[in-house]
Chains A and B, each alone.
Chain A
Amino acid sequence: AQSVSQHNHHVILSEAASLELGCNYSYGGTVNLFWYVQYPGQHLQLLLKYFSGDPLVKGIKGFEAEFIKSKFSFNLRKPSVQWSDTAEYFCAVKITTGANNLFFGTGTRLTVIP
């Protein structure tokens, strides 16, 4: 069965530190990849997505992610975090030839200390 792994459950950083959150998936075929963010008390929002083309994708609020096909990874990065980035981050995968649903990782909680 397809699975999505986020190995960091809780990450604590000081403001201005760099961020990298890991995401690995287990499907060998063609996938679409997503990062969603859930700010405290708010809806899940799409940060960025990868469908094809340049494996380095840029999203909102200065986030970017790199798709490395050989490693089945789609890690999220931000050079300098802010207190307002405190949230839960979810990696998600859609199999392109499969059903129209997303497989989510269990999420990584990011706490940014001012």
Chain B
Amino acid sequence: KAGVTQTPRYLIKTRGQQVTLSCSPISGHRSVSWYQQTPGQGLQFLFEYFSETQRNKGNFPGRFSGRQFSNSRSEMNVSTLELGDSALYLCASSLTTSGGFNEQFFGPGTRLTVL
């Protein structure tokens, strides 16, 4: 079974631009979560999507948004990029049915650098 895939793997943008990152979950997984990983803050939860609906959201500004498609693929978007948005963005998928919790399987991440 193929793992979680994320595209692109590396991205360089400048301040003020916007960016869209993509995540394809493991086949059959319906929950997709996004995390931001930085050296100082570690991994911080951004949001979770399940059945095309945002189910949970972390403490990030509205510039960070996401969506999920009917095939469970997910995208996250960051608008008006700031230098502090430079990070590794990780996507995790799980089977999770409503109200349950299953192991989250992580993708390789997208390394975003904002100049």
Q: Which residues of A contact B (CB under 8 A)?
A: 32, 36, 42-46, 49, 90, 92, 94, 96, 99-107
Contacts and interface: CB of A to CB of B under 8 A. Distances in A.
Interface of B: 3-4, 31, 33, 35, 40-45, 48, 50, 55-56, 58, 90, 92, 96, 101, 103-104, 106-109
Given A32-B101, A43-B106, A46-B103, A100 B42 contact: no
Identify which of B42, B48, B56, B96 gathers the most chain A CB atoms within 10 Å of its CB.
Answer: B42
Contacts, number: 53
Contacts of B55: 99-100
A36 B104 CA distance: 10
A90 B106 contact: no
B42 A105 contact: yes
B56 A44 contact: no
B101 to A, nearest CB: 6
B45 A44 contact: no
Nearest to A105: B42
B43 A104 contact: yes
A96 B106 CA distance: 20
Given A44-B106, A99-B55, A102-B104, A107 B3 contact: no
A107 B3 CA distance: 23
B41 A101 contact: no
A104 B44 contact: yes
A100 B103 contact: no
A107 B4 CA distance: 22
Contacts of A49: 103
Contacts of A45: 106
A42 B3 CA distance: 12
A106 B41 contact: yes
Contacts of A32: 101
Contacts of B92: 44
A106 to B, nearest CB: 4
B103 A103 contact: no
A102 B44 CA distance: 8
B90 A100 contact: no
B56 A100 contact: yes
